[in-house]
Structure 1
Amino acid sequence: MQPESNKEKVEKKGDVGVHQVPRKKKIRKKRYRSEEKKDMISGYLYIAPFFIIFSLVGLYPALFSIYLGFQKWNGLSPMKFVGLSNFEIVLTDPLFWKSVYNTIVMGIMGTAPQLVFGIIFAFLLNLAFLKFKNFFRVTIFMPYITSMVAVALIFSVLFSDHDSSLVNYLLSLAGVDPVNWSSSEWGTKIAISIMVFWRWVGYNTIIYLAGIQSIPNDLYEAATIDGANKFQQLIYITMPMLKPFIILTVFTSTVGALQLFSEPTVFLGNSAFTRDEAMTIVMYLYRDAFKLQSFGTASATAIILLVLITLFAVINTSLIAGNGRKKRGENT
């Protein structure tokens, strides 16, 4: 046999080199894919606790409540499918529509003023010459973190039916007759609305304050140079720039107003579920479920409340989208 020439050896070495390069690439790709899978699995493991807890505490009860809305069940006996009968019972009950009326009225009376005063308080707390800003900011936020039971107990004393209660005493100084706050139709609504306002105005004020502090100071300086006073700056600079924050607070406050429960329940005490003048939708739901053991109608009420909240969410989203289109049109 003839010995191999140098040229043939080089070609063979070249062939070996050509075959070795793809193998290295395959090994690298396998390693890369394995590392990518490890990162993906570890990421899912990090977020898994949230989804597990949400599924057990949030998703499952919600789905079970929807299923229960079409069943007749008292919590002990077997369930019986009744179709839309629960919704018919709720929608034909005058007390339910009374609770809807009460919820809307107290929601408007307690929500609208807190949004208006929240903007005013935020503007005042942002003034440059104001001293002790941190003290006032903490003070106005304190009602939000105060226990609801303590707040309701204090207001039940302030708005007592006795002539010597603080609010009735102040009214007597103005020549107004004493009001039966806890036993009259509008007295109860006004007292609960004031309680809601007092508790939540600080929360909205802090949100508006954060929004105001995000507005560039150059706009206010230019307005001052042009001769605009503080009120004009509030109307023509602060309000337009705060529109996204206003939409957010209107949405959250509306949802909170539709879920009003703690304030009237604690304020009226044991008679809360036996009186119509302060019955809210959530109180109506609670009464059906835990007082009358009618979980089917209670779940139907919850579904109706979900539809109402979703309706307001759609309206709020439409407002945001319309605001965005308007801004894009002005920029173009």
Structure 2
Amino acid sequence: MLKRLMFSQKAAPYLFVLPFVLTFGIFWAFPLGRSVIMSGQNILPGQVENVGFANYERLFGDRLFWLAMGNSLRYTILTLVLLIPIPLFLAVLVNSKIGSPRLKAFFKSAMFIPALTSVVVAGIVFRLMFSESSTALMNQIIGVFGLEPTKWLKNDLTGLAALLIVALWRWTGVNMMYFLAGLQSIPQEYYEAADLDGASRWQQFRYVTLPQLRPTLIYVVTISVYGGMAMFLESFMLWGGNNSPQNIGLTIVGYLYRQGIEKNDLGYASAVGVVLLVVILAINLTQLSFNGMFRKEATR
């Protein structure tokens, strides 16, 4: 019976997609639905009270929520500004005919290693690097230029700069690999034709490389938006906890963690999570629509 079912042309497709459906339902759809329900409840030990939209009303009047959301949005925008052009430039260099193949292979491996490094270990190292001590690495670097030691993690702008440096260190190599894969999928004939037409290197990049890289660019932007808005552990480890000075390192996920885990207010934390999901979906659907991902191809 089972053998006949597995080799059935009608049943086989459903059997192949069943693992995905189960994984999606158990680890995404069910938790999401449960979170939506919990966002309308006041959950206490041994007691659950339905409160309707009270958690959302409280949330939109919560100054700390808007501060955390602003921190996450600012971080996300700046990571997009840095983690799109810089990895793309590096990928173009690695994909070019300039340089030794062995050196390029070593460079790719070296750039990807930070993504394999534990965020906990990296956070501790960067916390020591950005320490306010005069012997800390970053203070020694600015000391070369005659500047006084800075309390990096106690000021808003310098704390944000530290977070961005961690993001650059960790994700530049990953995004470079995505772009490199996209570049290597572009047929070489396109460049040969452009070269015969007298196109310069910049014109080839603008009119051949960028249009052909569009799907990769859209993918990298999409995952970067999610990664920026979902960032938590880097901030947690950089400040050694979820309580940074004047909440300069508090992200929206950190605020969710504070309410749900530290204060045990699961109903309110669920409301924060639902709003965060809506914000991420709105941003990504907007940029996908702007890039024409939902347009139907013209048919002849």
TM-score of the aligned structures, taking structure 2 as reference length: 0.89
* 1:264 pairs with 2:230: no
CA distance in 1, matches of 2:203, 2:16: 50
Q: Which residue of 1 aligns with 2:51?
A: 82
Change (3 A) 1:57 1:240: closer
State the shift of 1:120 in Å.
0.2
Identity %: 30
Q: Which residue of 1 aligns with 2:285?
A: 314
Q: Which residue of 2 aligns with 1:218?
A: 189
State the shift of 1:241 in Å.
1.8
CA distance in 2, matches of 1:36, 1:168: 65
Moved more, 167-176 or 277-286: 167-176
Change (3 A) 1:290 1:275: farther
CA distance in 2, matches of 1:243, 1:108: 19
State the shift of 1:36 in Å.
9.7
Residue identity matched to 2:62: D
Q: Is 1:273–1:287's contact at 8 Å kept on the other side of the alignment?
A: no
CA distance in 1, matches of 2:245, 2:271: 21
State the shift of 1:220 in Å.
2.1
Q: Which residue of 1 aligns with 2:24?
A: 54
Q: Is 2:5–2:11's contact at 8 Å kept on the other side of the alignment?
A: no
* Other structure's SS at 2:140 match: helix
State the shift of 1:317 in Å.
2.6
Residue identity matched to 1:63: G
Q: 2:177 aligns with which of 203, 206, 212?
A: 206
Change (3 A) 1:134 1:296: same
Change (3 A) 1:276 1:235: same
Change (3 A) 1:242 1:43: closer
CA distance in 2, matches of 1:246, 1:198: 20
* Other structure's SS at 1:321 match: coil
Moved more, 244-253 or 219-228: 219-228
* Other structure's SS at 1:235 match: helix
Q: Is 1:215–1:241's contact at 8 Å kept on the other side of the alignment?
A: yes
Residue identity matched to 1:211: G
Q: Is 1:181–1:187's contact at 8 Å kept on the other side of the alignment?
A: yes
* 1:253 pairs with 2:263: no
CA distance in 2, matches of 1:304, 1:229: 47
State the shift of 1:51 in Å.
2.9
State the shift of 1:110 in Å.
2.3
Q: 1:293 aligns with which of 264, 273, 287?
A: 264
* Other structure's SS at 1:73 match: strand
Q: Which residue of 2 aligns with 1:241?
A: 212
Q: Is 2:288–2:294's contact at 8 Å kept on the other side of the alignment?
A: no
Q: 2:93 aligns with which of 96, 114, 124?
A: 124
CA distance in 1, matches of 2:245, 2:41: 26
Q: Is 1:102–1:279's contact at 8 Å kept on the other side of the alignment?
A: yes
Q: Which residue of 1 aligns with 2:81?
A: 112
What are the residue-to-residue correspondences of 1:43-192 with 2, within 5 Å? 43-74=13-44, 76-131=45-100, 132=102, 133-192=104-163
Q: Say what the alpha-carbon RMSD is for the aligned residues.
A: 2.4
State the shift of 1:323 in Å.
8.9
State the shift of 1:231 in Å.
3.3
Moved more, 261-270 or 126-135: 126-135
* Other structure's SS at 2:52 match: coil
Gaps of 5+ in 1: 1-33
Q: Which has the higher helix share?
A: 1
Residue identity matched to 2:181: A
TM-score of the aligned structures, taking structure 1 as reference length: 0.81
- Structure whose CA Rg is larger: 1
Q: Which residue of 1 aligns with 2:248?
A: 277
State the shift of 1:225 in Å.
4.1
CA distance in 1, matches of 2:98, 2:254: 46
Number of aligned residue pairs: 295
Q: Is 1:110–1:194's contact at 8 Å kept on the other side of the alignment?
A: no
